[in-house]
Amino acid sequence: MSKRVWKLQDFVAHSGRVQCARLGEKSGQVLATGGDDKRVNIWKVGKPNAMMSLTGHTSAVECLVFDKQEEVLIVGCSGGSMQVWNLEYRKMAGTLAGHRTACSVVEFHPYGEFFASGSTDTNLKIWDLRRKSCIQTYPGHIGAVTAIWFSNSDNKKKKDNSNKKKKKTSKKQNSKRKKKNNNNIDSNNNNNKRPHWRCDCHPL
């Protein structure tokens, strides 16, 4: 049985074409839209007027994404630059000149301190928000990068560890597992000093 779908809200969001829209994941009640008018408007779902309008972009807004707390917004523009917005203070926190052509997609890493951007220049870039700089570039796509997905390996590790605890083992096996887990903890502590990611990108 299919679910019923109905129109919740209909309004004019921009003076030009709307290029992108994104809901905040934390509340599901905050919506950001970007358009050809070089503006980003922030809306409360169900309300007819924008809560704020973010200006200062030098070209049309192509893509955007909230962080997990809905406090930071990354905006990608057709000129290739990206803007970092602090929504609490309603101000631009920085501009990143990352791509030669249009920035077509941006996506936050689960850790929240990193995000990825894809472009029609066929490059994928990983950014560190703390340093406001690119820390890795992945070239070689045959077309524009239009989608990015981060995996969350932490959930898989927790599930694997839970399954291991349920198995009945001998004292000797427990001893070996304890030693192995200690080594893994040491390794994980070292690995936590740098980000881990895996991206799936879908070129045109």
**The CATH number fitting domain 18-152+197-203, selected from 3.40.50.300, 3.30.499.10, 2.40.50.140, 2.130.10.10:** 2.130.10.10
Q: pTM for the full model?
A: 0.74
The pLDDT value recorded for residue 162 is 52
Which residues touch 45 (CB under 8 Å, ≥6 apart)? 8, 9, 23, 28, 29, 30, 31
Which residues touch 58 (CB under 8 Å, ≥6 apart)? 38, 77, 79, 81
User: What number is the average pLDDT over the span 84-101?
Assistant: 93
- Which residue type sits at 88? E
From the list 202, 53, 74, 182, the residue with the least C-alpha distance to 132 is 74
With a pLDDT cut of 90, the percent of the chain lying above it is 60
C-alpha 126/C-alpha 197 separation (Å) is 10
What tens digit of pLDDT does each residue of 18-58 get?
A: 999 999 999 999 999 999 999 999 999 888 899 999 999 99
Domain locations in the chain? 18-152+197-203, 153-191
Model confidence at 190, pLDDT cuts 50, 70, 90, reads very low
The pLDDT value recorded for residue 43 is 94
User: What number is the average pLDDT over the span 129-141?
Assistant: 92
Q: Which two tokens stand for residue 63?
A: 């893509």
